[in-house]
Amino acid sequence: MIPTAQALAEITARLKEAGIEEPRREARLILAAALGTNAAGLLARDSVAQAAYEPLVARRVAREPLAYITGHKEFWGLDFLVSPATLIPRPDTETLVEAVLDSGLRPRTVLDLGTGTGCLLLAVLHEFPAAFGVGVDLNPEAAALARRNAEHLGLATRAAFLAGSWAEALEAKFDLVLSNPPYIESAEIPCLMPEVADYEPGRALDGGTDGLDAYKAIIAAMPRILSENGLAVLELGAGQAPSIALLAEGAGFACATRRDLAGIERTALIRFRK
């Protein structure tokens, strides 16, 4: 057994040497996960067995994302289960939820294309108790994980999840269409940080040669799936706003954008042109 303070110091040093940002914070989270406790429970432990945490530390030193190691990630104040089948929810994506709330729309039906963990759809359903949502993901494992998250958050009766390619299998119209699609240019993926390039699912990152493949498919489907007075809210990559606006306007829609906390045009808000 090793004193807990000593274990934290040693894990922190190893993470720092591996180039991990905020190594002390991550050391606490890894140790707590290894012991099946939280921060308060960790403080109550005088000593720990190295065998309990060493495998998790080794994974993080190899640059596996912390969320895959702990199996959890917070989004919009909610706890989401995560797995390598899905992208890890990111704070930037919360901009989409904020945009929906600020839009004045009170959706009764919500569609999330490329749902992943279901974080976008379930965060919006959490804010609109009268709404029902459908999440679609090409990966059946992702759709299954999103369904587990709906159950985990007590939203299973108001959400359904399907495995499919974008909106191909859908015929209904929705008040709100959400998507955080793949938008990284194919050639840029090897240049991403190791946690992303080596561990997160490439299919959920790769937007094609120009990064716009998914947007073209989604916008082409919107005349069929978006209600007349509905709203589509899409996440954008840096610098993509002009291209998405052109695609939307070419399909008969009006497009506005919203910036994230870093000042990047992160969200496109798309409606039928009046």
Q: Per residue of the chain (274 residues), what is the pLDDT tens digit?
A: 889 999 999 999 999 999 999 999 999 999 999 998 887 788 888 889 999 999 999 999 999 999 999 999 999 999 999 999 999 999 999 999 999 999 999 999 999 999 999 999 999 999 999 999 999 999 999 999 999 999 999 999 999 999 999 999 898 999 999 999 999 999 999 999 999 999 999 999 999 999 999 999 999 999 999 999 999 999 999 999 999 999 999 999 999 999 998 899 999 999 999 7
Q: Which CATH architecture has domain 81-272?
A: 3-Layer(aba) Sandwich (3.40)
231 membership: H or E segment, kind and range: strand 226-235
pLDDT of residue 208: 96
**Domain locations in the chain?**
2-62, 81-272
The answer for 89, left when phi > 0, alpha when psi is -120 to 50, beta otherwise, is beta
How far is it, in rounded angstroms, from Cα 153 to Cα 225?
Answer: 27
Whole-prediction pTM: 0.93
Q: What is the DSSP letter of 195?
A: I
pLDDT of residue 258: 95
pLDDT of residue 269: 98
The one-letter amino acid at 79: D
pLDDT of residue 1: 84
pLDDT of residue 44: 82
Nearest Cα neighbor of 184 from 137, 233, 237 is 237
Beta carbons within 10 angstroms of residue 98's beta carbon: 14
